[in-house]
Amino acid sequence: MTMIEPFLVKALIAGILVALIAGCMGCFVVWRRMAYFSDSLAHSALLGIAMGVMLDVNHNLSVMVSCICFAFFLIWLQRKKVFATDTLLGILAHGSLAVGVITITLLEQRMDLHSYLFGDILTVGDEQLWWLFIGGGFVLIALSLNWSSLILMTIHEDLAMAESVRVSRLEILLMLLMTIVVAVSIKIVGILLIASMLIIAPAAARQLSRSPEAMAIFACLIGIIAVVSGIYFSFEFDTPSGPTIVAALAAIFAILFPLSNFYRKN
Amino acid sequence: MTDIISASNITVTRDNKDILDNVSISVNADDFITILGPNGAGKSMLLKCLMGFYKPEKGMINRTPNLRIGYVPQQFVSEQTLPISTKRFLTLRKKVDEEEIEKIADETNIKSLLEKPVHVLSGGERQRVLLARSLIGNPELLVLDEPAQNLDISGQLAFYKLLEQIYQSRSLSILMVSHDLHMVMATTKKVVCLFHHICCSGEPQIVTKDPEFVSLFGNDMAEMMAVYQHGHNHTHEVHDHD
């Protein structure tokens, strides 16, 4: 076998890191029905990227800041109790996506909008790898430290509160972690497809698992298989990396789906 | 008698409305108190204040230090997407040995459910599992918030019977919010009627004749309770002559 190209090694490391982070975080997205929220958060990230370009700030940072603003703005609107959360999310997500696209088009610099929307794993640089290591490490450590509490409050919030779990604090933590996941993985799968990394792998894993930990581990493994095969196809056939990875995930889900009938009874 | 937990003159205000208005309640060792009241009367809020989820705007909560409280919440819907066995759910965030699990599973009749996933359990089974979880760590006080709300009538009967057994066999106090007063009429020692403030409280037989009780729940309810009381006339008579 010939030497693997260095850019492919970087792409593989980046992809595997994203699979690990998204696998664990994604379980909570599936359990707590945050799928639409994660999707909207990712949409709003484009505005963050535009801001980053405008102010000449690192994209990871500007995306985190814009996503956090998005999250708190959403909470504020939710408290008004005028519209249902999905309506609010729709307004905020598409509003900020639209403003983001306009801003990027108006900027003097030529930017490859396509690579932000769909990701470009084959051009991942060293700096982005560091962001993935540190951001991803933080997410994984924070999740594992609070694992049981997060699961208990997912099953029953009042019960968790009665057993002195700080529920509202952990909810904010989850949102914060989600912004980190979105920010560091945009380069890999792109704004439009991040949510699918968070949802499909855990959903496929559910069909194999009998405990929350097993589901997280299977989600990571499925993510890794999808990323590796996605990168291979993307490289061989020159397809966009993000969609290829997501297509691989969807294929794995489809293959595992018949099992769900069996597991539902167990 | 010693109070193990008490609220004195607590007031909770939300959106400019007094949810609890100058409410005082105390639970003694070995008490069995049932709180009842219409929806939105502040019953759950009172429990939450007592357990320390919320700090009331006014008033004091006193608890004996390190009081062990077991909490049985309202029925929950378990997400199918979260795979977890009953046993794992019971021990989540709890330090407990096999022996205690066995004992409690026997007591609450959930032994055969331990290896099953939580999401396949029936309503009654789920409620027994929640009760079992609350018993871990040998609580001195059980707090129950409409524990049998979504069960059918035979499920309710079975649940309250189990609760009575636990009350008789363990030395603990019970503080419960429930609409099913008729089911616990014989066991509950004290009834508290709450509608933002405490309307009336005392022994169940006396409270159900109280004009405040009648005005809160209507004549029908009062008459219905009178029928239930009739069935327990013996204990009532004995009490009267004490």
pLDDT over 90 at A139, yes or no:
yes
Flag the least confident range among A40-49, A112-121, B124-133. A112-121
Determine the pLDDT at residue B70: 94
Determine the pLDDT at residue B101: 94
pLDDT over 60 at A240, yes or no:
yes
Determine the pLDDT at residue B189: 86
Distance from CA of B65 to the nearest CA of A (A): 15
**CA-CA distance, B183 to B35, in Å (whole number)?**
13
pLDDT over 90 at B228, yes or no:
no
H or E, element range at B63: strand B58-63
pLDDT over 60 at B96, yes or no:
yes
Determine the pLDDT at residue B144: 95
Looking at beta carbons, which residues of chain A come within 8 Å of B81?
30-31, 203, 206
| Model confidence band, residue B141 (pLDDT cutoffs 50, 70, 90) | very high
| Model confidence band, residue A120 (pLDDT cutoffs 50, 70, 90) | confident
In one-letter notation, the amino acid at residue A226 is: A
Over the stretch A43-102, which tens digit does the pLDDT of each residue have?
999 999 999 988 989 989 999 999 999 998 988 888 888 888 899 999 999 999 999 989
Over the stretch B199-221, which tens digit does the pLDDT of each residue have?
888 888 888 778 888 777 777 77
State both tokens at A107: 């900027």
| Model confidence band, residue B240 (pLDDT cutoffs 50, 70, 90) | very low
CB-based contact B81 A31, cutoff 8 Å: yes
Q: Is A109 helix (H, G, I), strand (E, B) or coil?
A: coil
- Other Cβ atoms within 10 Å of B230 Cβ, number: 9
| Model confidence band, residue B232 (pLDDT cutoffs 50, 70, 90) | very low
Determine the pLDDT at residue A264: 58
Flag the least confident range among A145-159, A199-213, B76-90. B76-90
| Model confidence band, residue A222 (pLDDT cutoffs 50, 70, 90) | very high
Domains identified in chain A and CATH numbers: 6-264 (1.10.3470.10)
**CA-CA distance, A250 to B193, in Å (whole number)?**
56
- Other Cβ atoms within 10 Å of A260 Cβ, number: 15
Flag the least confident range among A15-19, A187-191, A217-221. A187-191
Check residue B173 and give left, alpha or beta (phi > 0: left; psi -120 to 50: alpha): beta
Mean pLDDT, residues B119-124? 90
**CA-CA distance, B35 to B42, in Å (whole number)?**
10
**B124 close to B151: Cβ distance less than 8 angstroms:** yes
Tell me the percentage of chain B whose pLDDT exceeds 70.
93
Determine the pLDDT at residue B239: 41
Among A28, A147, A156, A261, the strongest candidate for a mutation testing the B interface, having the largest count of B CBs within 10 A, is A156
CB-based contact A206 B85, cutoff 8 Å: no
Highest average pLDDT, of A221-225, A238-242, B195-199, comes from: A221-225
pLDDT over 80 at B171, yes or no:
yes
Q: Where are the beta strands (DSSP E) in A157-219?
A: none
CB-based contact A30 B117, cutoff 8 Å: no
**CA-CA distance, A48 to B177, in Å (whole number)?**
49
Flag the least confident range among A104-108, A146-150, B84-88. A104-108
Domains identified in chain B and CATH numbers: 3-241 (3.40.50.300)
Mean pLDDT of chain B: 86
Q: Give the nearest partner residue to B71 out of A162, A203, A212, using CB atoms.
A: A162
Determine the pLDDT at residue B237: 41
State both tokens at B143: 């707090």
| Model confidence band, residue A260 (pLDDT cutoffs 50, 70, 90) | confident
Mean pLDDT of chain A: 90
**CA-CA distance, B68 to B89, in Å (whole number)?**
20
Looking at beta carbons, which residues of chain A come within 8 Å of B92?
148, 151-152, 155
pLDDT over 70 at B236, yes or no:
no
Angle A38-A44-A50 from CA coordinates, rounded to 5°? 145
Among A80, A145, A163, the strongest candidate for a mutation testing the B interface, having the largest count of B CBs within 10 A, is A163
Mean pLDDT, residues B146-158? 89
**B123 close to B75: Cβ distance less than 8 angstroms:** yes
Determine the pLDDT at residue A6: 86
Tell me the percentage of chain B whose pLDDT exceeds 90.
49
Cβ-Cβ pairs closer than 8 A, A with B, add up to: 64
Q: Give the nearest partner residue to A163 out of B74, B93, B117, using CB atoms.
A: B93
| Model confidence band, residue B231 (pLDDT cutoffs 50, 70, 90) | very low
| Model confidence band, residue B226 (pLDDT cutoffs 50, 70, 90) | low
Q: Give the nearest partner residue to A210 out of B80, B117, B143, using CB atoms.
A: B117
pLDDT over 50 at B61, yes or no:
yes
Determine the pLDDT at residue A4: 76
The pTM (predicted TM-score) of the whole model is 0.88
Tell me the percentage of chain A whose pLDDT exceeds 70.
96
Mean pLDDT, residues B38-62? 89
**Does residue B135 sit at the A interface (CB-CB below 8 Å)?**
no
